[in-house]
Amino acid sequence: MNGLSAQDRTHLEKLACRPGSVFSTCYRFSRPSVRPALLATQAFLSETGDIPARVSDPGIAKIKIAWWKNELSENLADSQHPIPRALAGVGFLKRMDQEILDRYFDGLLELSSGQAIESTEDLLRIAKEIGGSEVLMLAGAGGELVDEGALEAVGMGVNLYRFLNDLGRVHCNETWWLPMDLRARFGISSAEPGQEKALNEVVKLLASSVKPEVENAITQIKPPTGDAALNDGVHFIRVLSRIVVRRLNKLSRWPDSQDKNTSGPGEVFAAWWQAVRRQ
């Protein structure tokens, strides 16, 4: 990434390659041709995707999201922030539809609104809106003839897995996104401790319900022909999606397991090999 200092690159790597994250796991198996774009894109997604959880004031969250939206509409290379400059270096806006970016920011705004999510259906819709946009950005599939529906289903699984993993790991501190119907069904409040059993049941239910859709979506993601960079980006998403399915499977069977957010070398290699075989 030309124009970035070693310090800026280290900052991007810390944002993108968080320990135990699905991206960090798959990034090691990505093809060299797409690594700069993957790193810059994921750093952007990590920085902006954390806003709903990190910023409790809806007004401030709206300002932060608006700043990023505006930053991506200007000349990225002239930005004072290292992430837009990194995105400029990999031609992010040239290969990305504005509609995908707008859908992503709209999803973040909805999550940051301070309004409770009413139903599980609404939660899955938002997860697909945000996660689907994230996966399309990582694949570099803006404007290309790739099955967007399948990529969005994978993105929903990736996005929901992050929620579920946080819920199982830190319990009541991250219940802000739980929809009202699940709160009522399992008797979960926002502040009371000692709800681990109910929260684990939520994790198990949601992981079990979305895993089949993600598994089906994987079979529909076909490597495009005639565009090597896009082909490599979609290959990365196929590896990532298989890792997510494996992790969702762990959550659906052992929501209180200590190893639910880890992937051993054998598991990662198996996901990579499955993606290669199906090309």
Q: Which whole number is the average pLDDT over 82-95?
A: 90
Q: In whole angstroms, give the CA distance from residue 64 to residue 34.
A: 28
Radius of gyration of the chain from its Cα atoms, rounded to whole angstroms: 18
CB 201 within 8 A of CB 256: no
Rounded distance between C-alpha atoms, residue 176 and residue 120, angstroms:
13
Stated as kind and residue range, the H or E segment containing 238 is helix 228-253
pLDDT at position 51 over 60: yes
CA dist., res. 81 & res. 236, Å (int): 27
Which pLDDT band holds residue 274 (cuts at 50, 70, 90)?
low
pLDDT tens readout for residues 178-200: 899 999 999 887 656 667 788 88
Per residue in 221-262, pLDDT tens? 876 666 666 778 888 888 888 889 988 998 888 644 444 444
Residue carrying the six token digits 């290309």: 144
- What percentage of the chain exceeds 70 in pLDDT? 80
Secondary structure (3-state) at 213: helix
Q: Report how far residue 153's alpha carbon sits from residue 52's, in angstroms, rounded to the nearest whole number.
A: 21
Half-sphere exposure of 7 (CA within 13 A, CB side): 1
The average confidence (pLDDT) of the chain is 82
46-55, 120-129, 133-142, 217-226: segment of lowest average pLDDT? 217-226
CB hemisphere CA count around 95 (13 angstroms): 21
pLDDT of res. 172: 43
233 vs 64, residue with greater confidence? 64
Cα→Cα distances 14→10, 19, 40, 47, 254, Å: 6, 9, 11, 11, 29
Query: Which among 57, 32, 22 has a CA at the least distance from the CA of 246?
Result: 22
Taking the C-alpha atoms of residue 134 and residue 151, their distance in angstroms, rounded to an integer, is 9
pLDDT of residue 273: 47
pLDDT value at residue 232:
82
Percent of the chain predicted with pLDDT > 90:
39
